[in-house]
């Protein structure tokens, strides 16, 4: 039997913390073969996004069609989409795809940079979301998608379920919404992620089927947690075939990575997907002394001192 493939369609983050880079690291860590099509090139580091170049929509669509015609893709995971034209083209392709479509509705980076053109929102809701089987919004994204005026960090579970009901009504294939809770008011020192399922009867209210609570960490760690959560849900769903188990494991993995990731870079450190608990007998974060800089590196200025482990 061919090995099923998870396919990420997302933006590129050259710092390796978010986007397709985070998705592929997550798939690989969880034992799933990953393919990836790029929607946008971003110029960013751990301090934030400086520039975005969205690829031509037809080029994005060609990448996706090439992979779908060749590989046995069972799960598509989407991230940053960038432009209206890309959303439209991908919406057409996803409407024909019968496997799982896990949509991470990436709207804005945590540093405040828009990652979807504001004018693309309408086409996202009408033309793209109907193909989704699972959505993984954070609380501000959920609020925005549900058409609420503005995000209130004191949003309670009842408000959250009302917003989810709006999305279930709009997206006929949508089965589950994983709402990550990191943006809720930090009153308790805990973050609650929730798995919300469509009500069994069409007229009923959605239900919170599971909650995952983990400590709220202070400090500058966590660039790309949203991408990693959605990619982990995708990989675990591919392996286990079950929403509740995929949600619990994905939330657990992100909490573990947040706790284990060391500072890296000058801004918000990315998750350290590569630290595996010495599975190969070499202790994690143990490195041979770096060799002398190669000639091609000699032009670096004095502020670029190589890997930063603060």
Which residues here bind ligand PLP, judged by CB under 6 A? 10-11, 13, 18-19, 42, 79-80, 106, 109-110, 115, 223-227
Distance CA 109, CA 116 (A): 10
b/e map of 262-299 (b: 16 or more CB within 10 Å)? eebbebbbbbbbebeeeeeeeeeeeeeeeeeeeeeeee
First to last CA, the chain: 47
Least Cβ distance, residue 298 to ligand PLP (angstroms): 31
Q: What helix, strand, coil percent values describe the chain, rounded to 5?
A: 35, 25, 40
Min. distance of Cβ 19 from ligand PLP in angstroms? 3
**Closer CB to ligand PLP, residue 125 or residue 230?**
230
If residue 35 lies in a helix (H) or strand (E), which one and from where to where? strand 33-45
Of the pair 54, 161, the CB lying nearest ligand PLP is at: 54
Q: Smallest distance from the beta carbon of 1 to ligand PLP, in angstroms? A: 32
Work out how close the CB of 17 gets to ligand PLP at its nearest, in angstroms, rounded to a whole number: 7
Q: Give whichever of 114 and 252 is closer to ligand PLP, judged by the CB atom.
A: 114
CB-based burial label for 131 (10 Å; 0-12, 13-18, 19+)? buried
Of 11 and 181, which CB lies nearer to ligand PLP in the complex structure?
A: 11
Q: How far is the CB of 261 from ligand PLP (least distance, A)?
A: 13
Q: Which is nearer to ligand PLP, 109 or 198 (CB)?
A: 109
């Amino acid at each position: 039997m061919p090995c099923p493939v998870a396919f990420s369609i997302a933006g590129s983050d050259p710092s390796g913390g978010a986007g397709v880079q985070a998705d592929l690291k997550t798939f690989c860590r969880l034992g799933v073969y990953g393919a990836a099509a790029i929607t946008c090139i971003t110029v960013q580091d751990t301090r934030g996004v400086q520039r975005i170049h969205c690829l031509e929509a037809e080029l994005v669509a060609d990448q996706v069609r090439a992979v779908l015609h060749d590989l046995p893709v069972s799960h598509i995971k989407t991230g940053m989409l960038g432009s209206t034209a890309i959303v439209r083209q991908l919406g057409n392709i996803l409407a024909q795809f019968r496997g799982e479509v896990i949509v991470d509705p990436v709207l804005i980076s945590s540093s405040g940079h828009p990652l979807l053109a504001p004018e693309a929102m309408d086409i996202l809701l009408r033309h793209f979301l109907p193909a989704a089987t699972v959505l993984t919004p954070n609380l501000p994204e959920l609020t925005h998608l549900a058409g609420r005026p503005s995000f209130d960090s004191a949003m309670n579970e009842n408000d959250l379920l009302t917003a989810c009901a709006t999305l279930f009504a709009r997206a006929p294939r949508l089965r589950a919404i994983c709402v990550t809770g990191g943006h809720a008011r930090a009153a308790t020192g805990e973050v609650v992620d929730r798995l919300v399922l469509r009500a069994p009867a069409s007229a009923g209210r959605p239900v919170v089927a599971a909650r995952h609570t983990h400590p709220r960490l202070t400090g500058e760690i966590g660039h790309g947690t949203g991408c990693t959560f959605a990619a982990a849900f995708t990989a675990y769903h591919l392996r286990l075939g079950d929403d509740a188990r995929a949600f619990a494991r994905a939330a657990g993995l992100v909490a573990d990575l947040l706790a284990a990731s060391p500072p890296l870079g000058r801004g918000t450190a990315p998750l350290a997907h590569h630290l595996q608990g010495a599975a190969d007998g070499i202790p994690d974060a143990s490195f041979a002394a770096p060799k002398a800089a190669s000639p091609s590196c000699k032009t670096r200025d004095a502020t670029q001192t190589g890997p930063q482990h603060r």
